[in-house]
Amino acid sequence: MSSVRWVFNFFVVWMLTGLWHGAAWNFVLWGLYFAIMLAVERLLLSRILPKLRGFSHVYVLFFILISFIIFDAPDLASAGRNLLHLFGGVPFITAETLYHLKNYGMILVLAVIGATPLVKTLTKRLPARFLAIAEPIVTTALLLLSTAYLVDGSFNPFLYFRF
């Protein structure tokens, strides 16, 4: 199959994947966004990224973050505003920022720690008998905390109800 045909097929599949998630332009844009990112990665960056492990992690996290903003927006105008705000379109420290840091700061810190190899390194140093007891307790606690945060959040209807 030629590269042109592959790119065309790839774009059609990802555009339809976006449309499958909802009947709004932001979902179609989300699908096309992934098509562009994956095509660029496959055609241009496939030789470079494996050599730059640290950069490739940041690269993936950055572009996934952008995709979440596009996907979650109720319309394209909101997606544009949110992206503008992400890249400094408003003052960095506002009352809203402080509110969110106060309410979700601990989760942010735990997420950053959990995203590093620190947890894996620490668990390797613990005795297996301790891990056999601690692992189900910690996992259950994380499940309960996650559920509590989800229940405590505002009402958010099931994603596909917006279709």
41-55, 75-89, 147-161: range with lowest mean pLDDT: 147-161
pLDDT digits over 13-29, tens only?
A: 888 888 888 778 888 88
* For residue 42, pLDDT beyond 90: no
What confidence tens digit (pLDDT) does each residue in 45-68 have?
888 888 887 787 788 888 998 999
**pLDDT tens-place string over residues 87-122:** 877 677 778 888 988 988 888 898 888 888 888 888
Q: Can you tell me the distance from the alpha carbon of 41 to that of 59, in angstroms, rounded to the nearest whole number?
A: 11
What type of residue is 117? P
Is it the case that residue 163 has pLDDT exceeding 60? no
C-alpha to C-alpha distance for 97 and 103, rounded to whole angstroms:
10
Cβ 32 vs Cβ 11: under 8 Å: yes
Q: Is 160 exposed, middle or buried (0-12, 13-18, 19+ CB in 10 A)?
A: exposed
Domain boundaries, the chain: 1-90
Rounded Cα distance between 126 and 73, Å, is 44
Reported confidence tier of residue 162, pLDDT bands at 50, 70, 90: low
